[in-house]
């Protein structure tokens, strides 16, 4: 049986990002949620040039092609994104803009789930949901999770060691994998 390939994107460029830590913890916990999943953390968000339709032709900048190729190869997309001033960070929106009108439709019909690291960050989650829906992604709300993070548990080890957070991550991933597998 071929593994389910999931691309994980953190919407934060911070070195000590809680969004990135959550995705790394999820990767470590993945074997406990499903034996048949391979999660890759995308690290090129900061390398993408500013979206410009004039650059989106037959040949696109290499970082853009890399993102698109990774998304084409993935069976699903997980996003953990912070909220800045009630919105999605520019780097995350920029990445989505590069995926809006692609010839290959990398995002069209792609199962997507969101991981929210703050119950107060509802504006960015709503914005991402709207943007991904407009882009024709297959948004799986049942696989989305909001985590009760505290400042003492924002690194990968702390997240994995917290039974409530680890269970929530494994459960969300199991639901996501089942939904992808049923398509």
Look up the CATH number of the domain holding residue 52: 3.40.50.360
Non-local (6+) Cβ contacts of 105 within 8 A are 136
pLDDT in tens, 33-68: 778 899 999 999 999 999 999 999 889 999 999 999
pLDDT in tens, 109-141: 999 999 999 888 889 999 999 999 999 999 999
**Quick check: 163 pLDDT over 70?**
yes
Structure confidence at residue 103 (pLDDT): 66
Q: Report CA torsion sign: 66, 121, 133, 49.
A: negative
Model confidence at 152, pLDDT cuts 50, 70, 90, reads: low
Domain extent, residue 97, equals: 4-181
Number of domains present in the structure of the chain: 1
Q: What percent of the chain has pLDDT over 70?
A: 97
Task: Answer whether 181's CB lies under 8 Å from 1's CB.
Answer: no
């Amino acid at each position: 049986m071929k593994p389910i390939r999931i691309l994980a994107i953190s919407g934060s460029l911070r070195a000590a990002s809680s969004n990135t830590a959550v995705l790394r913890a999820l990767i470590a916990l993945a074997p406990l949620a499903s034996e048949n999943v391979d999660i890759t953390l995308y690290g090129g968000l900061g390398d993408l040039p500013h979206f410009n339709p004039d650059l989106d032709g037959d040949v696109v900048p290499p970082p853009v092609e890399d993102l698109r190729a990774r998304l084409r190869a993935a069976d699903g997309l997980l996003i953990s994104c912070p909220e800045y001033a009630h919105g999605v960070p520019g780097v995350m929106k920029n990445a989505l803009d590069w995926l809006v009108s692609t010839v290959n439709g990398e995002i069209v019909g792609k199962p997507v789930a969101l991981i929210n690291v703050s119950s107060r960050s509802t504006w960015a989650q709503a914005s991402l949901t709207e943007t991904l829906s407009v882009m024709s992604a297959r948004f799986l709300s049942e696989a989305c999770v909001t985590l009760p993070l505290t400042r003492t548990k924002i690194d990968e080890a702390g997240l994995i060691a917290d039974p409530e957070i680890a269970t929530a991550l494994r459960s969300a991933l199991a639901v996501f994998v089942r939904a992808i597998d049923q398509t």
